[in-house]
Amino acid sequence: MLTDFPGCSAGSIVSPCYLSACQGENMAGLMAAFGCYTHAIVRGVPTSLAKEALRTGQAEVDSSKAQREHDAYVHVLRSTLGLEIVELPADETLPDCVFVEDAAVVCGDTALITRPGAESRRRETEAVKGALKELNLNIVEMADENATLDGGDVLFTGREFFVGLSKRTNQRGAEILADAFKDYAVSTVPVLEGLHLKSFCSMGGPGLIVIGSSEPAQKALKIMQQMSDHRYDKLTVPDDLAANCIYMNLPNKGQVLLHCPREEYPESAKVFEKLKDHMLVPVSNSEKVKVDGALTCCSVLINKKANN
């Protein structure tokens, strides 16, 4: 009850007790098992990505390599993990369209269609919304023209939401998210550096936050810990970008973690490799990361079973 966070020691690896896979799956109840997914929405990589996608860095993007990496990513989701993939075609006029995460936030059977902070990305939501409708999710749209929200700023921990207030997401956007998911606490976290909140953190399991070691990242973590009634363990990785990984809890697979490979972030990969309870799946993302695309950015994960 007393949730005081003395702070976990940096870099320590914690292995909390995880729930067994997808327990309570048949219950439409609140806070059904975290990480259970059945479907994933992905979108093709437009060739315009290399030149026109928004980016904070300067690096040149190898378009064909980006394509290969993305194919591998989708392959993992489909074949390795057995998710049903809804693949939307790329739209050349939307260079950032591969990053579908920013277009929608799905939790339970509700999908909030966002209003991306970047003007050029607003139309990305149309196709995603269509796909979500197809999946019979309750669609909530962000009609307010003053609101902006990128899915990349939304961290759902299983018990609550943290919304990064960043260049792309504002308070109003966060409020609308809170309205859409009334069961959960929605706390705001300032994002001082990096594009999105999830540019330096993500969930590594129920109650486990993977966090980069940069100062802004650590600061953000502190805020999240302070704001929460729940206790979170943290897994600190040396590289902020490597802190973006994908956790799933799948039937027959158990806990799965898609994370950066050694080639890209050797030190961080080592940290992941110490996780014993997870099925570790390194997925490379060297090209998309140049346009600020992380692992979570490239899919919208949905749990359909829980909703039917």
Give the binding site for other proteins (CB under 8 A). Answer: 1-4, 7, 28-31, 108-110, 138, 146, 159-160, 163, 165-166, 169-172, 174-175, 178-179, 181-190, 192, 219, 222-223, 226-229, 307
CB of 27 to other proteins, least distance (A): 8
CB of 104 or CB of 256, closer to other proteins: 104
Choose between 188 and 296: whose C-beta lies nearer to other proteins: 188
Q: Does residue 245 have an active-site annotation? A: no
Min CB(191)–other proteins separation in Å: 8
Closer CB to other proteins, residue 29 or residue 130? Answer: 29
CB of 238 to other proteins, least distance (A): 21
Q: Work out the widest C-alpha separation in the chain, in whole angstroms.
A: 52
Work out the burial of residue 159: count CB atoms within 10 Å of its CB; fewer than 13 is exposed, 13-18 middle, 19 or more buried.
middle
DSSP 42: E
Choosing from 70, 196, 259, 278, the catalytic residue is 196
Are 302 and 40 in contact by the 8 Å Cβ rule? The answer is yes
Which one from 36, 107, 201, 297 is the annotated catalytic residue? 297
Identify the three-state secondary structure at position 181: coil
Q: Please check whether residue 149 is in contact with residue 163, taking contact to mean a CB–CB distance below 8 angstroms.
A: yes
List 138's β-bridge partners, or say none: 110
Contact 240, 194 (CB under 8 A): yes
Q: Is 17 a catalytic residue?
A: no
User: Cβ closer to other proteins: 169 or 199?
Assistant: 169
Nearest distance from C-beta of residue 190 to other proteins, angstroms:
2
Least CB distance to other proteins at residue 22 (A)? 17
Residue 104 contacts by C-beta under 8 Å, 6 or more apart in sequence?
Answer: 41, 111, 112, 113, 114, 125, 128, 129, 132, 151, 300
What count of other Cβ atoms lies within 10 Å of the Cβ of residue 136?
12
Cβ closest to other proteins, residue 75 vs residue 230:
230
3-state secondary structure of 260: coil
Q: Tell me which residues are annotated as active site.
A: 196, 297
